[in-house]
Structure 1
Amino acid sequence: MKKNKNKYLKPKTNSLLKTDFYKNSLIILACAFGIYLLRNESGPLRYLVVGLMLLLLYKLIFLIQSAPEIVEEFFPPKVKFEINTKPIDQFIYKSSNYFFGLSLVLILFQIRRIDNTIHGINLFFKFGLYGALFGFIVLYILKLISPTIYDTGNRRFAITFISIVGFFLVTAATASFVNYNFPKEKPKSSTYLIKRKSLGGKRNNDHLLFIEFYKNDEERIEVSENEYNTVKEGEKVNLTTQKGYFGYETIIDIKSIN
């Protein structure tokens, strides 16, 4: 009797996943289009916008939860389960999880700094995309190091997701750190108008000011509770900013003129 030399169990497919994916994707696109068309509505239609946003979020969560299975359906892995996992594959898989945890820690330390950078969202996505592109290069290098690294669906999805998102976050956080800590110019002070104030975050612990830096260019900055309480909507404040290494100005001080 011949021994079974196959080390793997072949995966099964589920065509219903594709149907659900297409259906939910169309719903998400329709909701996004509806939200865009009704974005300026202030009457009863604004409740429709809220409903569309909730539906979009629900369907998006569903797609995220089903992402590993969806990827497997469109791009079937070579194997479903490994009986014997190579040490190098196991090492890369575990290391990627630690790397993702590190990326979350780094971005958490820079969130407020990015928030208090003029056009900080632009910095976040610009350098984050550079990081994501580098993540694709890393995925290719890992394939060269271990050709079997992407043989199983779960490991392939985890490493791909972590590499792209992880490097996105690490690069964005690093860019924010470098931009702030290695300025190109000396601090300067200017007067700006506070358009509005708001409380946000869990239990309204975030104190936010929306300041008009240029015409039709409103930026949100996070301040301390004391700074928040000493300024009012519609009044002007004196901001001290400093141009960072990458040319993005960071806010280092805020004072009420009155």
Structure 2
Amino acid sequence: MPTQIESHLSDNGVLRLTLNNPQRRNALSEAMIGELHAAIANAAESSEVNVIVLNANGPAFSAGHDLKEITAAREESDKGRAFFATLMNKCAAMMTAIVHCPKPVIAEIDGIATAAGCQLVASCDLAYASNTSRFATPGVNIGLFCSTPMVALSRNVSSKHAMEMLLIGDMISASDAERIGLINRTTDSESLTAMTQAVADKIAEKSSLTLSIGKEAFYCQQDMELAQAYAYASDVMVDNMLTKDGEEGISAFVEKRPPVWRNE
């Protein structure tokens, strides 16, 4: 079976991972989830990768889980329960790997992102979309509440906006997705890759060590109570100041010269 994830690494360490099953609207089948999880895991360990961009071939970023695959599993003696549990666990592990990846992960959306596809967008650290893109968590329309997409969605937008998407299930526009905080910015399709690449290139110039420290701290402190969050973040800042890149960055700023990162 052909690979469902294309990859390209630029000279400055920007890795593009492209969902490549446009005939199935880049559905998050068990195979697609496995390939994407492996690609994220490999990138997390690679010293050559500074930033990851997720995009897709075809008119859909991702239409969510493969409903034909789910329907076929109902023929099993347990009506698909074992497969459904495995699929949900694998998908959750892949989404969690994106959040825990020490490299910033950027979604680039030019088309629809629905259900688990919308979950994938919400799981990324940043997201940029064409102004014709649309987003939805439409499971409620087919008797299947988008409970797992809800986890990522509710951690990115306010409760009432998340519930509106989950309870109604309608498509929302890219401008509305930007307004509620699901994505960062929109542009026309022709300019999308250039805009995303410019953001990725800017991030790739930073110390990879500093980025990994900051990303981990961001997600760790989110669910802490205020005093605990400040205590935790203060410890992170102290450790960061004692890294070689922390010392180099401050020295370079004081001396008015570009820093030379060692990622140490």
Same fold (TM over 0.5): no
Task: Please tell me whether Structure 1 or Structure 2 has the larger radius of gyration of its CA atoms.
Answer: 1
Query: What TM bracket, shorter-length normalisation?
Result: under 0.3
What is the TM-score with the length of structure 2 in the denominator? 0.25
